[in-house]
Amino acid sequence: MNILAIDIGGSKLKVLATGQSEPRRARSGRRLGPARMVELVRSLAEGWEYDAVSIGYPGPTGDAGPRSEPGNLGYGWVGFDYAAAFERPVKIINDAAMQALGSYEGGRMLFLGFGTGLGSALIAENVIVPLELGDLPYRKGLSLGDVLGRQGLERLGRRAWSRAVRRLIPPLIAAFAVDYIVVGGGNAKRLGLLPHGVRRGHNLTAFRGGFRLWGVEDVPTHSPDGGHAPLKPPESLPWRLI
């Protein structure tokens, strides 16, 4: 089964299909709604063959897909029929959880995504737990997402922003009792030297997560006719999503 994996970010939209080695990109931004996203993806994926679609969405998701509108994109994402629009079976998961899934190498892992906002997810013994650490209060009325997202980087400058990230790492390792932390997202490269127990994820891990997603049975399949699970996962993997 060939999968088209879609990584939706606040500034970029990226796609990659099974068997391809180079992602294709387009700008996203505040005017991007779901219908326009489908149109862009179809154009970007022209010439690629794919049987199903995985979507990494920048916000909370549930059995019916997106549960809230994204803060950095257009509107209309909640309730949109993605499977009908793509005419393919679709699985949808939080974008940080998809990147975490692609980065996971066993044990207990915390993923932090530094992009437009702060993405986060925990995986413990193959159980995926999407998080919203960016909503936690930081200080002076700011949240962690305000400080560690793109606006925080622009406001603080790279050095002060990097110091804020490094101060955050030890308490997160202790609080979640993780074996390691993986950092990803477009601004992870700006962190410089990483603390002990932290590694930088590869820029293709989101797509690997999108391919692996079809082995996660707890993520429902949306089919073009409104049914469920028309395709059998390519292999049985012991994953759970809670």
Q: Averaged over 44-73, what is the pLDDT?
A: 95
| pLDDT, tens digit (0-9, with 9 covering 90-100), for 125-139 | 889 999 999 999 988
Four-point Cα dihedral 158, 25, 76, 36, nearest 10: 140
pLDDT for the residue numbered 231? 45
Check: CB of residue 39 under 8 Å from CB of residue 32. no
The better pLDDT of the pair 72, 101 is held by 101
Task: Cite the residue boundaries of each domain of the chain with CATH code 3.30.420.40.
Answer: 3-94+213-241, 98-200
The better pLDDT of the pair 195, 25 is held by 25
Percent of the chain residues past pLDDT 90, beyond the cut: 77
pLDDT for the residue numbered 125? 87
- Per-residue pLDDT for 103 more than 50? yes
DSSP calls for 18-48: TT--S-EEEE--TT--HHHHHHHHHHHTTT-
pLDDT for the residue numbered 230? 40
User: Rounded CA gap, 163 and 178, in Å?
Assistant: 21
User: Rounded CA gap, 215 and 124, in Å?
Assistant: 17
Q: Which fold has domain 3-94+213-241?
A: Nucleotidyltransferase; domain 5 (3.30.420)
Task: Point out the least confidently predicted range of 12-16, 68-72, 191-195.
Answer: 191-195
Q: Averaged over 145-160, what is the pLDDT?
A: 93
pLDDT for the residue numbered 242? 58
pLDDT for the residue numbered 217? 85
- pLDDT-derived band at 221 (thresholds 50, 70, 90) equals very high
What letter would DSSP give residue 182? Answer: E
User: Which spans in the chain are helix H?
Assistant: 34-44, 82-86, 95-103, 144-148, 150-156, 158-176, 205-212
Residue type, 51: D
User: Rounded CA gap, 64 and 226, in Å?
Assistant: 11
Q: Averaged over 100-110, what is the pLDDT?
A: 95
- Per-residue pLDDT for 76 more than 90? yes
Which pTM value belongs to this model?
Answer: 0.89
The average confidence (pLDDT) of the chain is 91
Q: What is the domain class of 98-200 according to CATH?
A: alpha beta
Q: Averaged over 49-61, what is the pLDDT?
A: 96
Q: Averaged over 192-209, what is the pLDDT?
A: 90
- Per-residue pLDDT for 211 more than 90? yes
- Per-residue pLDDT for 239 more than 80? no
Residue 83 is encoded by which pair of tokens?
A: 């499977």
Task: Point out the least confidently predicted range of 20-34, 86-100, 143-157, 216-230.
Answer: 216-230
pLDDT for the residue numbered 192? 83
